[in-house]
Amino acid sequence: MSTMSASAVAHRGLYRAVQLRRNKGIGGLTIVVLLFLAAYAVLFPGLLTFEGFAKFSQTWLPLALTAMAQAMLMLAGGISLSVGATVSLGAVVAATTMGTPLGVAGGLGAVVLVGLVVGAITGAITVRLRLPAIIVTLAGSFIIGGVALLILPRPGGSVPTTVSDLLAGTSPVAFGLLLATIALWKLYAATPLGLGLYAAGENPVGAYRSGVAVDTVLIAAYAISGALTALAGFFVAAQTGSGDPVIGSAFTLNSIAAAVLGGVGFGGGQGTMRGAFLGSLLLTVMINVMFFLGLPPVAQYIAQGLIIVGAVALPEIAKRRAHRAGRVQS
Amino acid sequence: MTAPSSTLKTSRLSGLLGNRALLTLGIVIAVWIVASLTSRGFGTWGHLRYLIELAAVIGVVAAGQTLVMIGGGIDLSVGAVITVTAVGVPLLSIPGDATGLGAIAAILGITTAIGIVNGAGIAYLRVHPMIMTLAMATFLQGALILLAGGSAVSVDNAVIDMLGNARPCGIPASVLFWIAVALVTVLMLRRTRFGARVYALGANPLASALSGVNVPMTTLALYGFSGLMAGLAGLLALGMNGQGYVGIGDPYVLMSIAAVVLGGTSILGGLGGYAGTVPGAVLLVTISGLITVVNASAGWRSVLFGVLILGLLLLSGREAARR
């Protein structure tokens, strides 16, 4: 009994150390995000009201969900270029099922199921047939987008107003959903499937030889990522009140950008989910600021391109500066 | 793993590589034969020539994409660069420039510079190629709307018109141009030091840097070449369409990557060649042509296109097993 508690203490120490190291990695990013949030609040004091906060969290939620979906795959050494199409598919499924006898619960179930199935199939093709994830998801975006067009050839369908009012109304339900998603992620990260994610991403051969069920871990990651993405689509449909077969296209780039801003690398196993989460917050603030400043869409494109490159490049330059300074001293 | 088995593996792999171009070519020929037998009008000289003309644009963009991907990168900005070219040439045409060559030289300079900026971001700022080129595409998209105002611009340039429409000896000028590009690309990859460096860089960047490859300069040259090729493809697309508009280049991002991968070049870098990309481009155009012939809704066309690309990838794009 005493040995067990001793090992539990050791485990807790290890856990703390890992968490601390992960927090350290995103320290700079946290400061940048806080600065941006402060600037945003100064420019638009509306953010600090109850309603303003609710609206802000509503623009954040879909990006946060897709960024988490993307980060999961990138941590596992994959990537998805079909995020946008899957968001559209989720929106279309929600808009065509919720008004029918299936009801809201049935519709929500259908969205999650569609997301899981789409993700699982993508994962199975990538992992079992050993095709590069970029290409599979690029081809997959055509298939998924095509299916969305088949279900709903032009914008239409409807999401019940009760759902729209609940999710996209004046109460910060979206923020609550965000917290719930984070809690679920923490739970998932503690399961064997979640623990195997980093291992499978960083060194699949080593993970396989150490007994991680790499294939299962990866396919599960793709399936869950698909479900998260489809849920983002459901939320977008609730925001707009109807379905649109091409509404999600911007999410592909934005989800990758948010994950990369958050320090998630392309090689697999590099970065953290909390980083990706902060990255999505940063990107949301940037997009909102540009929108509220009344910049034309043109300038938004230009600014977004510059910001993304700058945000990815600056830490690298700083790192090299520090490295060089260290070498000079020693 | 013992030494003999690994040498056996490499020899088998290189044998496969040599065959991959032929494999893709075989698929193209099989599809053409089946399609001409089942679909009336597919096998006519005029239709096949039209398909090759369309493939020329993809083939030229994919020349740059092939080099970039062999070098271990990816260029997602080619679509935006093609649009820049198609919209930029009419804007750059000035009255004193009777031949129109000045505008062409200027735009090719611009697209090459765009590529070099991509390369600089990747080599010096260490931004991942996918992020750098996607951000560049986003940036260009904004700049384009600013410059062109969203409306289509028609072109009045003799050289571009000739590239798009002339047919010396019945062979379209664009196809002749593609053949020239193909020869230069293959020779550059196979016979020059630059080509060898590109393969080395893609196979193992650290090892190539330690063996004396100037990695930053090679990266700049790679992406500069991709920008130049996308510019040339933009000229071809402009010549065929007669006018440039925002969005003209969008389909070419996926098309160029798919053509390269279908041709057997590894997306991980270091393996492949342009000889496979050529039939890859023709195959892609044939598939989209067939899908248009099958009278289906936009949704079904999109699904079919994706499924066919996935199916073809199974034949040529698989990676080694992990074990």
Q: What is the CATH number of the domain that holds A248?
A: 1.10.3470
Name the residue in chain B with its Cα closest to that of A252. Answer: B134
Residue of chain A minimizing CA distance to B259: A135
- Closest-CA residue to A244 (of A64, A59, A85, A99): A85
Q: Which residues 234-293 of A have a C-beta within 8 angstroms of B? A: 245, 253, 256-257, 260, 265-266
Q: Which residue has the higher pLDDT, A297 or B241?
A: B241
B15 pLDDT tier (thresholds 50, 70, 90): low
With tokens 């920008």, the residue in question is B227
Tokens of B298: 């936009």
Chain A residues near residue B305 by CB distance under 8 angstroms: 142, 146
Whether A13 is covered by a domain: the verdict is: no
How large is the average pLDDT for residues A67-71?
95
Residue A87: CB atoms within 10 Å: 34
Structural domains of chain B, count:
1
Taking 90 as the threshold, does the pLDDT of residue A329 lie above it?
no
The answer to whether position B91 is within a domain reads yes
In this structure, what token pair is assigned to residue B289?
A: 């042509």
Q: Is residue B12 part of a domain?
A: no
Q: Is-contact B129 A265, C-beta < 8 A?
A: no
A23: in domain = no
The residue among A35 and A18 whose pLDDT is bigger is A35
Q: What is the pLDDT of residue A75?
A: 92
| Residue with the larger pLDDT of the pair B270 and B185 | B185
Average pLDDT, chain B: 83
Q: Provide DSSP, B271-318.
A: ---HHHHHHHHHHHHHHHHHHHHS---HHHHHHHHHHHHHHHHHHH-P
| Domain annotation covers residue B107 | yes
- The pLDDT of B190-211, averaged and rounded, is 90
Please give, rounded to a whole number of angstroms, the shortest distance from the CA of A1 to a CA of chain B: 40
Lowest mean pLDDT among A39-53, A58-72, A200-214: A39-53
**Across A233-259, average pLDDT:** 86
What mean pLDDT is predicted for residues A162-174? 82
Instruction: Check whether A220 has a pLDDT greater than 90.
Output: yes
Q: Are B55 and B282 in contact (CB under 8 A)?
A: yes
Least Cα separation, residue B125 to chain A (angstroms): 5
Give the pLDDT confidence of A135-155 residue by residue, as tens digits: 889 889 989 999 999 998 888
Residue B14: pLDDT above 70? no
User: pLDDT-based confidence at A205, cuts 50/70/90?
Assistant: confident
B8 is a domain residue: no
Taking an 8 Å cut-off on Cβ atoms, the answer to whether B130 and A298 are in contact is no
Residue A2 binned pLDDT confidence (cut-offs 50, 70, 90)? very low
Task: Look at residue B86 and tell me if it is in a domain.
Answer: yes
Provide the token pair at A261: 């801003």
pLDDT at A125: 93
Test A304 with B121 for CB contact under 8 angstroms: no
Whether A283 is in a domain gets the answer yes
Highest-scoring range by mean pLDDT, B11-20, B92-101, B223-232, B240-249: B223-232
Amino acid identity of residue A327, one-letter, is R
Q: Tell me whether residue A321 is in a domain.
A: no
Percentage of chain A exceeding pLDDT 70: 93
Shortest CA gap A71–chain B (Å): 14
Instruction: Kindly report the backbone phi and psi dihedral angles of residue A77, in degrees, each rounded to the nearest multiple of 5, phi listed first.
Output: 85, 10
In this complex, do A146 and B299 lie within 8 Å of one another by their Cβ atoms?
yes
Check CB contact under 8 Å for A150 and B297.
yes
Q: Nearest chain B residue to A312 by CA: give it.
A: B127
In angstroms, what separates the C-alpha of B202 from chain A's closest C-alpha? 15
Q: How far apart are CA B180 and CA B191, in angstroms?
A: 16
**B158 pLDDT higher than 80:** no
Q: Which of B125, B299, B322 sits opposite A204 (nearest CB)?
A: B322
Structural domain includes residue B87? yes
Helices (H), chain A: 2-25, 27-43, 50-75, 83-97, 103-128, 133-151, 161-168, 173-189, 192-202, 204-209, 214-240, 251-261, 273-292, 297-329
What pLDDT sits at residue B322? Answer: 47
Specify the CATH number for the domain of residue B230.
1.10.3470
- pLDDT tens profile A72-88: 999 998 899 899 999 99
* Ranges A22-31, A45-54, A131-140, B186-195: which has the least confidence: A22-31
- Mean pLDDT is lowest, of A164-168, B84-88, B219-223, B275-279, for A164-168
Find out whether A122 and A136 touch, Cβ atoms under 8 Å: yes
**How many domains is chain A built from?**
1
CA A252/CA B198 separation, integer angstroms? 29
Nearest Cβ partner of A298 from B74, B145, B299? B145
Task: Answer for the pair B143, B87: CB distance below 8 angstroms, yes or no.
Answer: no
Provide the domain limits for residue B114. Answer: 21-316
Q: Is A249 helix (H, G, I), strand (E, B) or coil?
A: coil
Position B166 in a domain:
yes
Q: With beta carbons under 8 A apart, name residues in chain B contacting A214.
A: 322
How many A-B residue pairs are in contact by the CB < 8 A criterion?
A: 153
Instruction: List all residues 6 or more positions away from A143 whose beta carbon is below 8 Å from its beta carbon.
Output: B302, B303, B306, B307, B310
Of A270 and B120, more confident: B120
Residue A190: inside a domain: yes
Is residue A127 less than 8 Å (CB to CB) from chain B? no
Say if A143 is an interface residue toward chain B (CB within 8 Å).
yes
**Least-confidence region, from A48-57, A180-189, B276-285:** A48-57
Spell out which residues of chain B touch residue A257, defining contact as CB-CB under 8 Å: 131, 134-135
Asked if A138 lies within 8 A of B301 by C-beta distance, the reply is: no
Query: Confidence class of residue B51 from pLDDT cuts 50, 70 and 90?
Result: confident
In a domain, A15, yes or no: no
Chain B residues with CB under 8 Å of A309 CB are 121, 125, 127, 131-132, 135
Of all helices (H) and strands (E), which one includes residue B243? strand B243-244
Query: Would you state the structure tokens that stand for residue A196, as one six-digit string?
Result: 């195997």
Is residue B144 within 8 A of residue B84, CB to CB? The reply is yes
Q: How far apart are CA A173 and CA A234, in angstroms?
A: 14
The pLDDT of residue A6 is 58
Cβ(A247)–Cβ(A91) under 8 Å? yes
Lowest-pLDDT choice from A1-5, A213-217, B128-132, B308-312: A1-5
Residue type, B18: G
Rounded distance between C-alpha atoms, residue A314 and residue A311, angstroms: 6
**To the nearest whole angstrom, how far is the Cα of A313 from the nearest Cα of chain B?**
5
Instruction: Tell me the CA distances in angstroms from A33 to A36, A142, A262, B131, B191, one per residue in order.
Output: 5, 35, 10, 20, 51
Whether the Cβ atoms of residue A95 and residue A259 lie closer than 8 Å to each other: no
d(CA A105, CA A108): 5
Taking 60 as the threshold, does the pLDDT of residue B13 lie above it? no
Q: Which domain holds residue A229?
A: 49-314
pLDDT value of position A109: 92
* pLDDT value of residue A266: 80
Find, among A229, A266, A263, A264, the residue nearest to A249 by Cα. Answer: A229
Interface contact B303-A142, CB threshold 8 A:
yes
Cα distance between residue A28 and residue A47, in whole Å: 23
Q: Is the pLDDT confidence value at A322 over 80?
A: no
- Measured between CB atoms, does A203 come within 8 Å of chain B? no
C-alpha distance from A170 to closest chain B C-alpha (Å): 33
Give yes or no for residue B316 having a pLDDT over 70.
no
pLDDT band at A330 (very low <50, low <70, confident <90, very high): very low
Mean pLDDT in residue range A211-222? 91
Structure tokens at A255: 């989800």
pLDDT at res. B178: 93
Scan for tokens 């593996």, then name that residue: B9
Q: How confident is the model at residue A178 (pLDDT cuts 50, 70, 90)?
A: very high
Please tell me the predicted confidence (pLDDT) of residue B251: 81
Interface predicted TM-score of the whole assembly (ipTM), two decimals: 0.80
Instruction: Among B134, B139, B303, select the one facing A302 at the smallest CB separation.
Output: B139
Asked if residue A3 has pLDDT above 60, the reply is no
Find the radius of gyration of the CA atoms of chain A.
21
The average pLDDT across A94-108 equals 85
